Amino acid sequence: MIDSMRPWMRRQMLVFVLALLPVALVTASADDARQRGTLDIQFEVHTRPGGETVQQGPAVISPFNIGLAVRADGVKVNEDGTFSFEARGTYRLDYHATSPGMTIDANEHRADRVLGKGQVQPDGTLALDLAWGHGEGLLVVVTSVGGSTARQPATEAVPLPTWNLSPVSREGDDADSRRVTIQYKSRRPSTVVGTYTVPLTERIEVKYDTKLVPRG
C-alpha cells in the first residue's frame, strides 16, 4: 500500500514517524534514569515523649527513655534500583527506678550501627531492610547506696521487619523536568532494643533524588 502512495504522501508519513521517535526515546531514557540517583535516609527509634513506665519485679522504672538517630546520606542507587549502606548513629538510654529501700538512675550512650539494603521499584515504591546493632558504649549507674560505671560490648545487628514504602510526595515529576525528587515517610511500633522490652516507635524518612540522563 505504501508503494502505491503518491510521493508527497510518503514524505509526509515519514516526517510524522520521525517526529514520534525522539518522544519515545526520551520516555524510555527517562524511565531508565529514574532507577539511578541517590537516597538520603533518616531512621529513628524512640520511646514516647516523657518516657515510658515499666514494672520489673518490685521496681518501677519511670521515666524510661530510649532514643536512636541514624542518617545515611548520598546512598547510591544502582541501575536496577538496588542499594545498600552502613551507617552509625547515636543511641541513648536513661531511666529512673525506685524499689523498696533504693533508687536507681542509669545513663547509657552508644554509637550504634545500622545496615541497610533495598530496591526502588519501577513504579516508585521502595523496599528497605534494616538490621540494627548496638556499638560499644558506657553505662553509668547511680543508686542511693552507691554507683558504678561499666563498658558495654557491641552486639550483633538484629534484622528488623521490611519497610514497604510508597511515595508521599513528588517534585519535578513531569515531562519537562531533568530532576525528580520523591519523598517517603512512615512509622510503626517496635520493641526491639537489646535485653529491654519497652514500647517504642520506629520512624523512617527517605528522599530519593534522580537526574534524567539520556542514553549515550
CATH number of the domain bearing residue 92: 2.40.160
Tell me whether residue 46 is in a domain.
yes
Tell me whether residue 200 is in a domain.
yes
Give helix then strand counts, H and E, for the chain: 1, 13
**pLDDT for the residue 173:** 62
Domain count, the chain: 1
**pLDDT for the residue 165:** 98
**pLDDT for the residue 189:** 94
Q: Computed over its alpha carbons, how large is the radius of gyration of the chain?
A: 27
Tell me whether residue 50 is in a domain.
yes
Q: What is the pLDDT of residues 169-198, one digit of tens each?
A: 998 866 555 789 999 999 999 876 555 678
Tell me whether residue 17 is in a domain.
no
Element of type H or E holding 64:
strand 59-77
Give pLDDT < 70 ranges for the chain.
1-35, 173-177, 192-196, 212-216
- Per DSSP, the three-state class of 33 is helix
Tell me whether residue 110 is in a domain.
yes
CA separation for the pair 73, 64 (Å, rounded): 30
Tell me whether residue 8 is in a domain.
no
- Per DSSP, the three-state class of 13 is helix
Label residue 159 exposed, middle or buried (CB < 10 Å: 0-12, 13-18, 19+).
exposed
Structural domain that includes position 194: 34-211
- pTM greater than 0.95: no
Tell me whether residue 19 is in a domain.
no
Tell me whether residue 16 is in a domain.
no
**pLDDT for the residue 197:** 76
